[in-house]
Chains A and B, each alone.
Chain A
Amino acid sequence: MNAERATAGRATERMLLGVDTGGTFTDFVLFDGKRVRFHKELSTPHDPCEAILAGIGRLGLDAGALHLVHGSTVATNAILERKGVRTLFVTNRGIEDLLRIGRQTRERLYDLTPPVPEPWLTPEDCLGIGGRVDAEGRLIAPVPEDDLVRLRERAKAYEAVAVCTLFSFLNPWQEQAARAALPEGVFVSVSHEVLAEYREFERAATTFLNAYTGPLVARYLERLDRALGGQRGRLFVMHSAGGVMEAREAAGNAARMVLSGPAGGLVAARAVGEQLGAERLMTFDMGGTSTDVALLDGAPRITTEARVAGMPVAVPMLDIHTIGAGGGSIAWVDEAGLLQVGPESAGASPGPACYGLGGERPTVTDANVVLGRMPRDIRLAGGMPVDAHRAEAALARLGARLGLDARETALGVVRVAEEKMAGALRAVSVQRGYDPRRFALVCFGGAGGLHACALAERLGMTRVVLPVASGAFSALGMLAGKRQADVSQTRRIALADPGAMDAARGVLAGLREQAERRMPGLALETRAFADMRYAGQGFHLTIPWADDAGALAASFAEAHEAAYGHGLDAPVEIITLRLTAVADTPCVRLPELPRASGAPEPAGHAMTEAGRAPCYRREILRPGHDLAGPALVLEDTATLWLPTGWRLEVSPHGHLLLSMEGLNMEERQ
C-alpha cells in the first residue's frame, strides 16, 4: 500500500495530461502541479493516436513520463458506425433470437411503412445451448457436452463471443461452462461479469456490445500504451460513470466506455462546483447539432437505462440527456403555420446561412446574428467571417410566411429553440423530482452562452456559471476524475426475512472483493447502495446502504414519498446491491488568477436587441471585475450573451459567475 501511495505521489510530480478525442478536435489539458495549459489538435479519425501523439510533441512533453487520462470515442464510434468485430452471440436454446426481438416494440408509433433497421446479428450469429438455471438460481439442466463441442467449432469463425444465459447473475455455471469450451484467442464477454443484473435483453445487449467493441478498444489502447512507453499505471481511460480505469481494464469493460468523453464534462462541472461551493448543478452543453444536459445533486445522477444506436447499455452511466437541437438547427414553418426549429440541422456544410457556404435556410445561429448577439466582425471557428446579410435575408424570408419581420422572427426562433432546451433541462430535473430553482446552470460548449441566461430565467434559476476552459471542458474533467469501479449483483431479498441483512452483507462483501481485484493495492473508499422497491413493483429506487433493515426501509419509504408523492403499506424488498469503490488519484488543481484593479476595457461595441452593448474579450476578465448586462463576452470558440438584468462577476479561479440582478449577496453565493 505504501508503495502505491509513493507511486501516486510521484504521479503528481509527473505531468498530468487529460486528452479528449472529439469529432473535430482533440483537446489537451496539461497540469504540471502548478499551472494548467490547454491545447487543441485536429482529430485524426482513422487513428486517434496520431492526434494524441502530435499534441504531446507540440506541447514538448516526454511521452514516457506522463500520467495520461483519456476520453475515447473508439467504442462509441464502433457502435454508431456498426464497425465492431464479428461477434457470436450465445444464449439458451429456444431464445436465440433474444437480441433480434428486443422488447417487441416498434420505434415509430404512427409509421405504416417503417424501414427495417439494419440487424446487429444474422440468425447464424446466434447460437443456443442447452441447460437451464431457474429463478431461484438452481441449475435444473446441465449443458450437454455436444452443445459445447458445437460451440467450440462455431466460435472459430468469430473474433469475439458474447455469452448471456438466463439467471446467470444468480448462478454463472452455464456461462462458465460455455467460456471454458471456447478456443484460445477468441475475445469473450460473459454477462454475469459484464453486468450481474436481471432482465435478459438489456444484459445480453450490453454483453454483446462489450464483445463487439472490446477487441477494438484493446488494440487501440495497446497501441497508445506502447507509444507512451508501456509502463503500468500510466495510461487511464475515463468510463461512462465518470470514474477512471486503467487502460488494461478497459478492453474487458468496453461497454463502460460509450460516454467516455462526455462524462468528462460532468466530472469537470462537479470539480468547478466544489470550488464554488455549489453542489446542485445542471450542465448545459450546446453544440451545432445536439445539446447535452445533465443534473448533479452533489454527485451526478447515474442511469442504467441508456441506449446507444437503439441498443440498451445497462451498465451505470452518467445520466446525460441529449436532444437533437443546436446552433445549426433549421427553423421552418409547419403545415399549420406554426414556427418549428429542428430536428433537421444545417450541419457544418452548408451550415447556417451566415457561413456564406450556400446555406439558405435560417438556423438558430442566424437568429443570434440578426439579434446582434454575435458581433458582425466576429470570426467563427476556423476563421470564417459572419455574413450578417445572408442571415438577415434568410430570417426575413421565413418571417414573410409568418407575418413577422426578420428581427421578430429571429426572436421567435430563439424562443422556440430555447423552449426545446428548457424541455431537456426539465426532463432531467422536474421529471425526476428535482426543483430547478435550487440549481445553478453550468454552461460549456460553443453555443450555450448565447442562451444560458434566458434558459435559467425560464426555469426560475438565478445563477449561471461559465467555467474556465469551457472550450476543452471534457479534457479538464479527465484530470478531475478518480479511479472508480462500479459493481453490482441482483439478489432478491425480502427485507422482513430474518436472514435478510446477512444475505445482503454477504453480497456486498463479494462486491467489495470484486472491486479490490479491479484496483489491487489501492486504498479504496466504498459506498454501497441498494435498489429497493415495494414487493411486486417493476421498478426500483436506489437507496444508500444502511446496515439496519429498519433504517433501510425508512429511507426507502421517504425516497418513494419524495419522488412520487405517495407511499404504500406493502412489504419492501432489495432487488440489486451496488457498490462504488473510489481510490485517491492525483487530480488537477486550478490556480487562482491575479485580481484586477479597475474596470475592464471593452474590445468594441455591438448593436444588439437591447441596444448598444459593450463586447469584452474573456481573456482580460479577472477576479474583481463586475459587469452588468447588456454585454457580450467573446472567446475564440464561444460567445456569452449577458442580457439586461444580469450581472457578471469573476471567481478567484476565473469562472464567470452570472446572477440575476436584485439578488442579495447571500443568494448569489
Chain B
Amino acid sequence: MNAVELSLLAHRLNAVCDEMGAQLRRSALSPNIKDREDFSCALFDAAGELVAQAAHIPVHLGSMTWAMREVAAMLDWRPGDVAVFNDPFLGGTHLPDITVVAPAFADGRLLGFSAARAHHADVGGVSPGSMGLQTRLEDEGVVLPPAHWFRAGREQTETLRPLLERVGAPAERLGDLAAQRAAAATGVARLLELQGETDIRAGMAELLDASEAWGRRAVADIPDGVWRFEDALEDDGLGHGPLPVRVAIAVRGEEAEVDFEGSAPQSPGPVNCPLSVTAAAVFYVFRCLMPAHAPQTSGIFRPVRIRAPEGSLVNARPGAAVAAGNVETSQRIVDAVLGALARAMPERIPAAAQGTMNNVLFSGEAGGARWTYYETLGGGMGAHAGGPGLSAVQCHMTNTRNTSIEVLEMHYPLRVRRYAIREGSGGCGARDGGDGLVREWEALADCRVSLLTERRASRPWGLNGGEDGAAGRNRLKAGAEWRKLPAKGEWDMRAGDVLRVETPGGGGHGDAGEAA
C-alpha cells in the first residue's frame, strides 16, 4: 500500500472502532459503561497485533496491546466464534474488565479480531463490586480464562454460567455482555467489508511497521542514558507496605528498556499487577510522548521493552490478588516512569498527579436485591514547565466521567452532601499543582462501603522546587463523631452516617519564589 492507501486504511479502522464504541455505549445497561464510558473497542490482525483502538481509558490501550497476542494463539478459531475472558494472567487486567472478542474470517482464512472490553460492576467477588481486600484471585470474583461463548454461531451456555450464578444482577451482566458481543460483531462485519474492497492483510502489517516510526521518534527525543526513579505504593490494605516501585529506563538511540528490578515482591493484598497492567502503564507514558495524531496500534510500542522480575508487585504470579493493581498500582508505575523521565527531560515532564483513582464502592440490600455502586474520583494534575496542573480531573490511567448526583440519588439510597474542589490542595510552586476534590455521601439506609485509595500518607511529588500536593483523606461520620479511615478497607455504614473523601492535589512545579 502507498502512503495514501495506508492513511485511508488507518482512518477506516479507527472509524470502525468509533462505531463499535457508539454502539456499545448506547446498548449497554450499566451506568459504568453508558455514563462513565469505562470501556474500549479494538481491532487486531490475525496474530493479535492491535491495529486500531477507540480507547476512553488509557489502561485499556496498553493492556489490549499486550493481551490479544496470547489469546489469539491460545484458542482454535472458527467463523461465528465469540470468546470471552477476564483472567488477568491470560489477556485481562483485573476481573471486572471482561473482554468479548470475535474473529473475522475471509476466504476461509483468519483475517483479524474485533474486541470490546468493559468494566462490570460485579463479577461475583466476595466483596461488593468485586473490588475488595482479598488475598486470592479466586476470591475477587469468577475467573474466566479465554473460552468460547459462541462456537461457530452456537451459544455455549456453560461458559458464562459460573459468572451468572455468582453475580447479584445476572440480567444486567448478560445485557452488558450482549452489547459487547454486538459491538464485536459490528467490528467483524466492517473488517469483512474492508477486505471486500481491498486486501487489508498486508495493509495491516504495513500499518504496524509504519507506526513504529512514532515510537522510535519519541524514544529518540529522550537523551541517552539510564534514568532511575523510585516511588512507592503506601500499602496493600492488609498492613504490608510501603511497597517500592523502582524503575531504570535505559535509553539508547531509538530504543528503550524499562526495567523494574528492585521493585517490591508481590504482596498478599490486591495491589499486584499482572504484567499486562504494568505494560499498560509504561505504554501510557510513552504514548504521551507522541503527538496526538499517532495511531493507536501496537506498532508504536515496539521500540520499548519491559523487564519486570517475576513474582514482584509489577509482574505477579497467576493466582495473586490484583483488583487494585489496575486502578491504583498502575498510577504509581506511571509516577515512577515519569519521575525517571523527568530527570532526562525536566522541561517536558509534569510533577506527580494525584496518583490514585479513589475507588469508592457502596453496597447494600433493597427490596430483597443486592445493589452495588462504584465510582472513582478525580484529583489534581501535576504542574509543569508550561503552566499549572488541572484541578478536579481524572489523571493518567483513567478518564471515567463522574456519576450525576441526580442519577445516583434516583437509583441508590445515598445522598450527596458535598461535591467541591478542594481548594489549596495542589502543591505550591512557580506553577501550582491542580487541586483535588471533596465528596460527601450520606447513607439513607444501612450499607457497606469499601475504599481502595492511595496517597493518603505519601504525597504527590513536586518538581524543580515545587511543593508536594496535599495527601488525600478519608473520613467517616457515625453519629456526631468524625473518624479517620485508612486508605483501604471496608466498613459498615448506618443510615445517617456520612463518608467524606478528599482527593490529593497535584505536585507544584518550580520554586514558588520565582513566581513573585
Q: Considering the complex, which residues of chain B in the window 410-463 have a beta carbon less than 8 Å from any beta carbon of chain A?
A: 410-411, 415-421, 423, 437, 440
Q: Is B410 within 8 A of A335, CB to CB? A: no
Query: Which segment of B42-50, B248-256, B390-398 sits at the interface?
Result: B390-398
Q: Considering the complex, which residues of chain A in the window 200-228 have a beta carbon less than 8 Å from any beta carbon of chain B?
A: 200-201
Q: Is B25 within 8 A of A539, CB to CB? A: yes
Q: Is A339 within 8 A of B7, CB to CB? A: yes
User: How many pairs of A and B residues are in contact by the CB < 8 Å rule?
Assistant: 209
A199 and B384 alpha carbons, distance in the complex (Å): 34
A112 and B405 alpha carbons, distance in the complex (Å): 29
A333 and B2 alpha carbons, distance in the complex (Å): 12
A166 contacts partner chain B, Cβ-Cβ < 8 Å: yes
Q: Is B399 within 8 A of A97, CB to CB? A: no
Q: Which residue of A lies closest to B422 (CB)?
A: A97
A123 and B424 alpha carbons, distance in the complex (Å): 13
Q: Is B27 within 8 A of A336, CB to CB? A: no
A623 and B427 alpha carbons, distance in the complex (Å): 72
Q: Is A416 within 8 A of B4, CB to CB? A: yes
A115 and B419 alpha carbons, distance in the complex (Å): 24
Query: Which segment of A101-109, A259-267, A589-597, A658-666 sits at the interface?
Result: A101-109
- How far does the Cβ of B370 sit from chain A's closest Cβ, in whole Å? 13
A334 and B210 alpha carbons, distance in the complex (Å): 10
Pick from B6, B214, B419: contact of A335, CB under 8 Å = B214
B171 contacts partner chain A, Cβ-Cβ < 8 Å: yes
- How far does the Cβ of B336 sit from chain A's closest Cβ, in whole Å? 15
B84 surroundings in chain A (CB, below 8 A): none
Q: Considering the complex, which residues of chain A in the window 402-437 have a beta carbon less than 8 Å from any beta carbon of chain B?
A: 402-404, 411-412, 415-416, 419-420, 423, 426-427, 430-432
Contact with A along B1-33 (1 / 0, CB 8 A): 011101110111001001100110111111100
- How far does the Cβ of A91 sit from chain B's closest Cβ, in whole Å? 10
A464 and B212 alpha carbons, distance in the complex (Å): 41
Q: Which residue of B lies closest to A104 (CB)?
A: B378
A110 and B338 alpha carbons, distance in the complex (Å): 13
Q: Is A103 within 8 A of B402, CB to CB? A: yes
Q: How many residues of A contact B (CB 8 A)?
A: 66
A98 contacts partner chain B, Cβ-Cβ < 8 Å: yes
Q: Is A538 within 8 A of B419, CB to CB? A: no
A198 and B403 alpha carbons, distance in the complex (Å): 12
Q: Is B418 within 8 A of A200, CB to CB? A: no
Q: A101-B402, A110-B288 are in contact. Are A116 and B29 (CB under 8 A)?
A: no
A557 and B337 alpha carbons, distance in the complex (Å): 50
Q: Is B404 within 8 A of A412, CB to CB? A: no
- How far does the Cβ of A169 sit from chain B's closest Cβ, in whole Å? 9
B284 surroundings in chain A (CB, below 8 A): 110
A100 contacts partner chain B, Cβ-Cβ < 8 Å: yes
Q: Which residue of A lies closest to B379 (CB)?
A: A104
Q: Is B7 within 8 A of A101, CB to CB? A: no
B475 contacts partner chain A, Cβ-Cβ < 8 Å: no
A94 and B437 alpha carbons, distance in the complex (Å): 12
Pick from B217, B293, B401, B416: contact of A95, CB under 8 Å = B416
Q: Is B292 within 8 A of A111, CB to CB? A: yes
Q: A339-B4, A339-B7, A420-B11 are in contact. Are A198 and B387 (CB under 8 A)?
A: no
Query: Which segment of B149-157, B174-182, B231-239, B304-312 sits at the interface?
Result: B174-182
Q: Which residue of A lies closest to B33 (CB)?
A: A538
Q: Is B400 within 8 A of A98, CB to CB? A: no
Pick from A111, A334, A335, A423: contact of B288, CB under 8 Å = A111
Contact with B along A70-110 (1 / 0, CB 8 A): 00000000000000000000000011111011011110111
Q: Is B417 within 8 A of A94, CB to CB? A: yes
Q: Which residue of A lies closest to B212 (CB)?
A: A336
A100 surroundings in chain B (CB, below 8 A): 391-392, 421
Q: Is A106 within 8 A of B387, CB to CB? A: no
B94 contacts partner chain A, Cβ-Cβ < 8 Å: no
A492 and B349 alpha carbons, distance in the complex (Å): 48
A568 and B29 alpha carbons, distance in the complex (Å): 10
Pick from B12, B182, B287, B288: contact of A565, CB under 8 Å = B182
Q: A113-B386, A116-B390 are in contact. Are A534 and B175 (CB under 8 A)?
A: yes
Q: Is B7 within 8 A of A423, CB to CB? A: no
B406 contacts partner chain A, Cβ-Cβ < 8 Å: yes
A338 contacts partner chain B, Cβ-Cβ < 8 Å: yes
B70 contacts partner chain A, Cβ-Cβ < 8 Å: no
Q: Is A112 within 8 A of B348, CB to CB? A: yes
A499 contacts partner chain B, Cβ-Cβ < 8 Å: no
- How far does the Cβ of A312 sit from chain B's closest Cβ, in whole Å? 12
Given contacts A106-B390, A112-B350, A538-B34, 12 further A-B contacts (CB under 8 A): A97-B421, A100-B391, A104-B377, A104-B402, A109-B58, A200-B406, A335-B291, A336-B211, A404-B4, A416-B4, A564-B27, A570-B171
Q: List 22 A-B contacts (CB under 8 A).
A: A94-B420, A101-B420, A103-B401, A106-B390, A108-B292, A110-B284, A111-B288, A112-B348, A113-B385, A114-B381, A123-B423, A199-B406, A200-B404, A402-B2, A402-B4, A411-B4, A412-B2, A431-B18, A538-B407, A563-B27, A565-B182, A566-B182
